[in-house]
Structure 1
Amino acid sequence: MQQQTSGLRTEFAFELPHGYVDGSGTVHRRGTMRLATARDELSPLIDQRVRENPAYLGVVLLSLVITELGTLTDIHAEVVEQLFAADLAYLQDVYREINGLGAEHRAVACPSCGTHFAVPGPVAGDRLGET
């Protein structure tokens, strides 16, 4: 389900590479993520888990913007914690892409031949929530 508000697309479907396995063994692969708001980016900063471990920021942030995963509609940090590493990385990429935080490119030149080409460059705030 992809929601649009006044021509603005706010929800995006995704499919995890491996899938989240719930307590009963059901694998959930398809889901929906919505655009992040300023509140989504700011509220995890007061979360004690993030204050104790800044790397946890991405987990909390994803739990706020994933609206459904398979038959699950209550997505919380504990669900995101149990994702396979490849699925977590995939969701972080989806988040960056739909929120306009994709990799920027920079021009470089080969030191040997002088050929110019573009390579992905560092993005301000490489982790989720560090825009």
Structure 2
Amino acid sequence: MAFQTEFTFTLPKGFIDRDGNVHREGTMRLANAADEILPLKDPRVQQNPGYLTIILLARVITKLGSLPAVDTRVVENLFTMDLAYLQDLYQRINSMDMPVYRSVCPHCGKEIEVPVNFMEAGI
């Protein structure tokens, strides 16, 4: 099975370009380290930390409708519902699934999956 790095989406409302065309279908790629680190140096983020989301999404959205490119201007002009949708999608595709340890319950003998949280290990 191939590793999925791009995810398609449909915006709830859609981006309306200057000609009145609505763009709803798009593609978002997985973020890389540079996507999360480089925007922190941007003066717009230093002045307003909330702008980080705008830059991040502009970097990882690879396609939106028939637009030639997605930049910060496009993301800035999304409806708030669409921005929230994209933030949620970003979190879901870039979050790490918690690993599980397969074991057998000592009481009932059934196979169980026990979540392993490395952040709490050794506490």
**Fold-level similarity (TM above 0.5):** yes
1:14-50 CA distance string (max 9 Å, x none): 0000000001000000000000000000010011111
Change (3 A) 1:22 1:49: same
Q: Secondary structure at the match of 1:36?
A: coil
Residue 98 (structure 1) aligned with residue 93 (structure 2): yes
2:70 aligned residue (75, 89, 109): 75
Return 5+ residue gaps in structure 1 as ranges: 1-5, 103-131
Residue 33 (structure 1) aligned with residue 28 (structure 2): yes
Alignment length, in residue pairs?
97
Alpha-carbon separation, structure 1, partners of 2:36 and 2:96: 13
1:55 aligned residue (39, 42, 50): 50
Alpha-carbon separation, structure 2, partners of 1:46 and 1:100: 23
Which residue identity is paired with 2:10?
E
Q: Secondary structure at the match of 1:50?
A: helix
Alpha-carbon separation, structure 2, partners of 1:73 and 1:93: 24
Alpha-carbon separation, structure 2, partners of 1:94 and 1:53: 23
Residue 88 (structure 1) aligned with residue 83 (structure 2): yes
Change (3 A) 1:62 1:9: same
Q: Secondary structure at the match of 1:9?
A: coil
Which residue identity is paired with 1:38?
A
In our comparison, the structure showing a higher alpha carbon Rg is: 2
Change (3 A) 1:101 1:84: farther
- Aligned residue in 2 for 1:12: 7
Return 5+ residue gaps in structure 2 as ranges: 98-123
Report the identity percentage: 55
**Alpha-carbon contact 1:67-1:73 (below 8 Å) kept:** no
Alpha-carbon separation, structure 1, partners of 2:60 and 2:9: 12
RMSD of aligned Cα (Å): 1.4
- Aligned residue in 2 for 1:46: 41
Show structure 1 runs of 4+ deviating over 2 A.
Answer: none
TM-score (norm 1): 0.71
Change (3 A) 1:65 1:18: same
